[in-house]
Amino acid sequence: MTRVFEPVDSTWCPGCGDFAVLSSLRKAMAELEIKTENLVMVTGIGCSGGIQNFMLNYGYHALHGRLLSTATGIKLANPKLTVIAAGGDGDAYAIGMGHFMHTLRRNVGIVYIVMNNETYGLTKGQPSPTSKSGFEGNIEEPFDATLAALAVRATTFIARGFSGKPDQLTNLLKQAIQHAQQGKGLAFLEVLSPCITFNDTYKLWRQITHDVTEEQDYNPNNRTRMISITLKVLESGRIPIGLIYRSDGVSYEKKVLPNLENTPVNTDIDIKKNLSAYKEILTLFK
Ligand code: SF4
């Protein structure tokens, strides 16, 4: 018998930061009253990619670094769905880096959660693009995704949460989901989510995270000011968290499909009615 909407038990290590993302996401979904049948999660390869198996909604585990293409396709096929893409820092900023930058640029109306633990946890702790210099022999400097996202002028929502601050995380998740649902575009939310087994950063991140909303000249609608604040915080050795940038854009799907009744999901694909069209398509492959 086929079982649907049946979440499986988590396989994460006890104490993994991804548990906080899961519980905040469930809470945000409940508080926003999003029905499970209207939510699709597309996840990447890595420990964090398992999150869609532990939720009570539709999900798809995509190819490594290619979850954003799949999520974009789903959103364009049915813009009324809430589409959440979720993966790790390796999937996003190494294997999927090109897709990450171009999806930011397109401003597709999806939520993208990147669970950043500064390592490849699933393959036992190798350095990732966000690892500090010195971690496991790493000699490279870390990549900061919020600063990179600020540099893409089409971005409309940039935030960073921390698994150690679940209330702030739930709040950011709710704002991100609402941003995407309102057709303003892509909501990018990075979550500092420690890998307790191979890179336990809980204590360090409690000390060095800095909420940007505490800055005197904080203004999340002003890109120039937020680039300056983000850079200043990073250069002082801290990590900026909180809502970093938000503006009222127009999402990619709204530009491509201005008439929501005329979307692929509403297309009549009845075989009998469309037989001649199907035959015509088949001739193209002969
Ligand atoms: Fe989490 Fe690390 Fe365990 Fe993976 S290996 S489940 S990232 S604690």
- DSSP assignment of 15-30: T-THHHHHHHHHHHHH
User: Does residue 77 register a pLDDT over 90?
Assistant: yes
The protein residue with its alpha carbon nearest to ligand 1, atom 2, reads 195
The protein residue with its alpha carbon nearest to ligand 1, atom 6, reads 12
pLDDT per position as a tens digit, 197-250: 999 999 999 999 999 999 999 999 999 999 999 999 999 999 999 999 999 999
User: Does residue 264 register a pLDDT over 90?
Assistant: no
Confidence of residue 4 (pLDDT cuts 50, 70, 90): low
Q: Do 250 and 183 contact (CB within 8 A), yes or no?
A: yes
Q: What is the pLDDT of residue 263?
A: 87
User: Could you give the CA distance from residue 43 to residue 26 in angstroms, rounded to a whole number?
Assistant: 16
Amino acid at 40: V
Token pair belonging to 260 = 């929501």
User: Could you give the CA distance from residue 49 to residue 47 in angstroms, rounded to a whole number?
Assistant: 5
pLDDT per position as a tens digit, 28-74: 999 999 999 999 999 999 999 999 999 988 999 999 999 999 999 99
Tell how far the Cα of 211 is from the centroid of ligand 1, in angstroms: 25
How far is C-alpha 180 from the geometric centre of its chain's CA atoms?
A: 11
Q: Could you tell which of 197, 199, 200, 201 is best to mutate to test the pocket of ligand 1, judged by most ligand atoms within 8 Å of the CB? A: 197
Count of alpha carbons within 13 angstroms of residue 57, beta-carbon side:
24
Token pair belonging to 119 = 């390592």
Q: What is the pLDDT of residue 203?
A: 98
How far, in Å, are 117, 248, 269 from residue 42 at the CA level? 19, 25, 25
User: Does residue 259 register a pLDDT over 90?
Assistant: no
pLDDT per position as a tens digit, 119-161: 999 999 999 999 999 999 999 999 999 999 999 999 999 999 9
The DSSP element (H or E) to which 177 belongs, if any, is helix 166-181
Count of CB atoms within 10 A of residue 240's CB?
Answer: 23
For residue 237, give the DSSP letter: T
Long-range contacts from 213-218, C-beta under 8 angstroms, 24+ separation: 213/242, 213/243
Q: For ligand 1, what atom is nearest to the CA of residue 13?
A: 3
User: Does residue 2 register a pLDDT over 60?
Assistant: no
User: HEC states along 265-279?
Assistant: HHCCCCCCCCHHHHH
pLDDT per position as a tens digit, 100-114: 999 999 999 999 999
Q: What is the pLDDT of residue 123?
A: 94
Q: What is the pLDDT of residue 270?
A: 87
Q: What CATH architecture is 18-260?
A: 3-Layer(aba) Sandwich (3.40)
Q: What is the pLDDT of residue 5?
A: 62
Confidence of residue 258 (pLDDT cuts 50, 70, 90): confident
Q: Could you tell which of 114, 117, 193 is best to mutate to test the pocket of ligand 1, judged by most ligand atoms within 8 Å of the CB? A: 117
